[in-house]
Amino acid sequence: MEITERDLREEVRAWVTQNWDPALSLRQWRERLLESGWAVPSWPVRWYGKGLPAWTDAVVHDEIARCHAVSGVPTGLAGPTILEQGPDLVRERFLRPMITGEETWCQLFSEPSAGSDVAGLTTTAVLDGDEWVINGQKVWNTSAHHADMAMLLARTDWDAPKHKGITYFVLPMKQPGVEARPLAQMNHHNSFNEVFMTDARVPKDWVVGEVGQGWTAALATLAHERKFAALNRRSDLEGVEPGLALDEARAEADEIARVYSWYPQRAGRVDLVIEHAKSAGVAGDPLIRQEIAQLMIMYRASQATAERARQARQSGRPPGAEGSIGKLASSNIARQASKVHSMIAGTYGMLAGDDPDCPLDGLLAEITLSVPAQSIAGGTDEIQHNILGERILGLPREPDPTRGQPYRDVRNA
Ligand SMILES: Cc1cc2nc3c(=O)[nH]c(=O)nc-3n(C[C@H](O)[C@H](O)[C@H](O)COP(=O)(O)OP(=O)(O)OC[C@H]3O[C@@H](n4cnc5c(N)ncnc54)[C@H](O)[C@@H]3O)c2cc1C
């Protein structure tokens, strides 16, 4: 029989009442969550879950928080990828310390000349006895400066076609052969790095999926790219009972906030638009009202699409076009929100910093400079258009004269 939301919440509440102790360390608390299956309820029982349907994750997360306990576990993108792709040796080695937060992760996919076309990567892995030796450069790697492990794509077979010769590795970041150099962004944040690998080492078996099948595993990661919500934010911790677990969860959330604090601005801060118009005394301006109305139409329509996708997932239907539509909508909404904020602020919109005349206490400058990232991260607008055209509308595939050729010949041509 399928579990109802009410029964689920009751079961979680009873368990948290018996097991939550604010004096535990964050790791001890997460170990209890993990042993009970409530850390990742939709994962299989063998891999620390309860084998429940996907919708239960959010409900359980919410109910734990309502019980004034620390809720989120940092499974990120690597967790679901390793869970899906295996093999067991990799699941056994990495899932547990990921869930307890002992090992943090970053993604090493993009390269200076392989972003949208990530399958065109040239970082190379060569097997040397019991280890792979890695050489190459990655870029735009969020959190690479403090991560313990990386999801790494590297080429292991130059004689295979572009998508076939790639392997997906787990790279230990803290070793002499790996150097992460932070990149300064125009919005004054430093979320990204460029990562240089010079004879870096990976144990022979630390391969996600199979050698040469890295593209399949990479697609699994990209499909999860939008589910980053499992991490705790400071606001998620507001009601948590004080104690060691809360202190450590706050420290973890602060570290995350240092990297991601500009992400709400990158989405355009739709939530601030109406108040901004009112406080600037322009809420009655007909042109500004029209633009705000347009923004709200786009925003609500996108929420409806997201809800449709959520319900489809809940009822077990395969994902359709909603992912790409939602990604495109988020770019359009961010741009429209940034435009409206700038119209409201007028020439003051050009001010940045601590000046008292800065609109939204300086936040507008951050919105203006962060919004372009919305249409790049996780696949650009043009790439989403291509995906929708080819996979949903059935238009002809983008021509690729090199298809099927050994990648060595393509690069040397
Ligand atoms: C906020 C943020 C976080 C990120 N985090 C990470 C991370 O953690 N790890 C990681 O590996 N990467 C990360 N990235 C990198 C990101 O995946 C790439 O920036 C993205 O895939 C685009 O690649 P590119 O920057 O090389 O642009 P390019 O691929 O060089 O694209 C340049 C322009 O050409 C267009 N274009 C390219 N190909 C086509 C085509 N076939 N048809 C039509 N137009 C095309 C693009 O749309 C774009 O306008 C992040 C990026 C951002 C902005």
Local confidence band at 233 (pLDDT 50, 70, 90 cut-offs): low
Whether 53 and 60 have beta carbons less than 8 Å apart is answered as no
Is 225 part of the annotated catalytic residue set? Answer: yes
Pairing status of strand 124-128 against strand 131-139: antiparallel
Average pLDDT for residues 179-197, to the nearest whole number? 92
Is the per-residue pLDDT at 227 higher than 60? Answer: no
Q: Which residues pair with 161 in a beta bridge?
A: 406
Instruction: Tell me how far the alpha carbon of residue 373 lies from the centroid of ligand 1, in angstroms.
Output: 9
User: Tokens representing 75?
Assistant: 């499974």
Whether 218 and 208 have beta carbons less than 8 Å apart is answered as no
Can you give the pLDDT at residue 206?
A: 98
* DSSP three-state, residue 240: coil
Local confidence band at 313 (pLDDT 50, 70, 90 cut-offs): confident
Average pLDDT for residues 370-375, to the nearest whole number? 94
The DSSP line for 178-197 is EEEEE---TTS----EEEEE
* DSSP three-state, residue 291: helix
Q: List the single range of 111-120, 230-239, 257-266, 290-299 with lowest mean pLDDT.
A: 230-239
CA distance 364 to 166: 42
Is the per-residue pLDDT at 61 higher than 70? Answer: yes
| Residue 109 beta carbon below 6 angstroms from any ligand 1 atom | yes
Nearest protein CA to atom 41 of ligand 1, as residue: 383
| Residue 185 beta carbon below 6 angstroms from any ligand 1 atom | no
Q: List the single range of 266-270, 373-377, 400-404 with lowest mean pLDDT.
A: 400-404
Q: What is the pLDDT of residues 389-401, one digit of tens each?
A: 998 899 999 888 8
Atom of ligand 1 nearest to the CA of 138: 11
Is the per-residue pLDDT at 107 higher than 70? Answer: yes
Catalytic-labelled residue, pool 11, 84, 225, 241: 225
Local confidence band at 362 (pLDDT 50, 70, 90 cut-offs): confident
pLDDT, averaged across the chain: 90
Average pLDDT for residues 323-342, to the nearest whole number? 93
Instruction: Tell me how far the alpha carbon of residue 63 lies from the centroid of ligand 1, in angstroms.
Output: 37
Best residue among 106, 108, 110 to mutate for probing ligand 1's pocket (most ligand atoms within 8 Å of CB) is: 110
Can you give the pLDDT at residue 131?
A: 97
Nearest protein CA to atom 48 of ligand 1, as residue: 380
* DSSP three-state, residue 366: helix
CA distance 81 to 151: 10
Is the per-residue pLDDT at 229 higher than 50? Answer: no
Atom of ligand 1 nearest to the CA of 381: 47
Prediction pTM value: 0.86
Give the containing element (helix H, strand E) for 127. Answer: strand 124-128
> Helix H segments across 38-87?
56-66, 78-85
Is the per-residue pLDDT at 101 higher than 60? Answer: yes
| Residue 387 beta carbon below 6 angstroms from any ligand 1 atom | no
Nearest protein CA to atom 27 of ligand 1, as residue: 115
Instruction: Tell me how far the alpha carbon of residue 39 lies from the centroid of ligand 1, in angstroms.
Output: 33
* DSSP three-state, residue 109: coil
Nearest to 175 by CA among 157, 158, 195: 195
Q: What is the pLDDT of residues 265-290, one digit of tens each?
A: 999 999 999 999 999 999 999 999 99
Best residue among 266, 376, 386, 403 to mutate for probing ligand 1's pocket (most ligand atoms within 8 Å of CB) is: 376
Is the per-residue pLDDT at 230 higher than 50? Answer: no
Instruction: Tell me how far the alpha carbon of residue 312 lies from the centroid of ligand 1, in angstroms.
Output: 28
Is the per-residue pLDDT at 221 higher than 50? Answer: yes
Best residue among 111, 117, 140 to mutate for probing ligand 1's pocket (most ligand atoms within 8 Å of CB) is: 140
CA distance 70 to 16: 10
